[in-house]
Structure formats: C-alpha cells, structure tokens
Amino acid sequence: MSIGPIVAALALETESDPVAGRALQLARRHEARLVLVHAVEGDLPHEPGLPGSLDAAALKRMLEQDAADRIGRLIGGAPGTATEIVVSAGKPHRIIEEVAEREGAGLVVIGPGKARNLREKVFGSTADRIVRSMQRPVLVVRSPRADPYRRLVVAADFSAASQAAAEAALSLAPEAAVELVHAVDTPLAFEQAMRRAGTPQAEIDRYLRARAGEARARISAAFAGTIAAAAARPRLRIVDGPAGAALVRISRSGRADLIALGTQGGNAISQALLGSVARHVLRAAGCDVLVSA
C-alpha cells in the first residue's frame, strides 16, 4: 500500500542520520517517492577580515551544494527509490512545511531535535513546531535502527486524532502486532476524598474496576474499524495513571518499536494541548513516535 510522498528532514549534524535510514526503509517498503530536505540556517558569516571580494551568492551556493553532496552520500544513491534532494536557506520548520505542502506528503519524517537556546526553550525546537503545526502524520525518529516496525502501540482515546494516528501507523506497518493502550487516570485526591468520606476500600476498588470496564467497552467500539484492519487481532490494555507516563514506560520496556498518538495541533493553543501527553512522549520515549493531528 502506498503512503504517498515521504518528506524527510535531515539535520546533517553527524556523518550518519537515523532519519535518512528510516525514510529510505519506508520509501522502499511502500514504493513511495522520497524528498530529502535540509535547511541552511542563519546568515552568512560577517567576521572581520573576510575578503572584501567575497561573493556571498557564490558562497551560499557552495554551502547548499555541500549539503546536497552530504545527503547523497548518506543515502548512497538509493537504488530503486525515486528521490529528490532539496537544500534551501531559511527557517527549518518553514522550509519543511513548504516542501511537505508542495509535495502533498503522506508522511513527514524528522529527528527529535533539542532546544539549543533560550528562544527554543520557550517557543520549542524545530521538531516541536513541526509536530504542532503539521496537518499530516509526522514520524519522529528516535531509534538508530531502521528495521521494519514489528510492535506497534497506539495511544487510544476517544478523539478523531487518536484514530487517525492508528490508521496512519497501520499504513506504515501493516504487518506489525498492535496494542491499543488507554489510560484511566483517577486523581489521587478523589480517591483520598472518598476514603475520608468513609467509603470502604472494596467499594472504591469496585468503582475503579467499573471505570476501567467502561473504558474498555468504549475503546473497543471506537476502534472497531482499526481492529478489523489489523493483520492480527490487536490487544487492548487499560492502564491506571497518566497516559504520558504509561506510554513512556512501554516505549522503554522493549514492548514497542513505534508509539502512535494523536494531537490537536494547528491552532493557537496547540502548544498547551501538546504538552499534556504528546510532548512528554516525544521528549522521553525510548522508540520512534508517530503523531497525527
């Protein structure tokens, strides 16, 4: 099944790039066109002592050509895969968004990024901005390996974004074993208030089991189509506690090589919405993360 063009953003900070490896693996698996993008950030140098005859335009072209050559070496020609290299000067998140829009990308592949200065700590790194604003699936590559995904965990809630993430993940890895994980987070203060009100522990436990049972029934109904589309019947796990912490634990346990989750994105309050679950998972997960709006 084709997933459409894949746009992969390469930082070129080292001689190897897990993003390139994963993007190539997916492009070959799905016979998809691959567009590899690198943004040359910042202005050209203006240090004292630079030759007055320096041709800024020529230097810019040299920097861009050097980046294109490095990408070519990374992918080794990518035999059998239709590829294009795009190198442009400017803000990385804007360039990636423009290329993804122009190409009609079915998937955007990026690295996790990190805040390099105070501004990025406040407003978010390039990866943060792309995940918040992109209205198409974004795969954040955290693993250095590019083996096919075999164990897929979907953060299952009752939102359309969660179901879109499940569908996108199954498109990427249709043969993977699937586990739906839903978190039932009962505030500790509420339990404590019930105890102070004299509620027996047996009744509190009965209440918690009833909440988990209701959640299981609702998730099963909401994801009936996703379950039917999976190669093997997915497992449904109901966990207690915050969803973000549960997903990070699973990602680090070796039970998943891809976590899929939905996020609201694309509006003025998306950063706050993202921070509750998706941002925590993106920053702390031990495996790749697929996010869909």
34-69 pLDDT, tens digit each: 999 988 875 555 555 555 555 656 766 777 777 777
Global pTM reads 0.82
Q: What is the pLDDT of residue 266?
A: 42
**Domains present along the chain, CATH in parentheses:** 1-140 (3.40.50.620), 148-293 (3.40.50.620)
Better pLDDT: 258 or 52: 258
State the pLDDT confidence band at 160, using cuts at 50, 70 and 90. confident
Q: For the chain, what is the total number of helices (H) and then of strands (E)?
A: 12, 10
Q: Is the pLDDT of residue 107 over 90?
A: yes
Q: How far is CA 54 from CA 46, 65, 67, 283, in A?
A: 10, 17, 20, 42
Q: CA 127: distance to chain centroid? A: 9
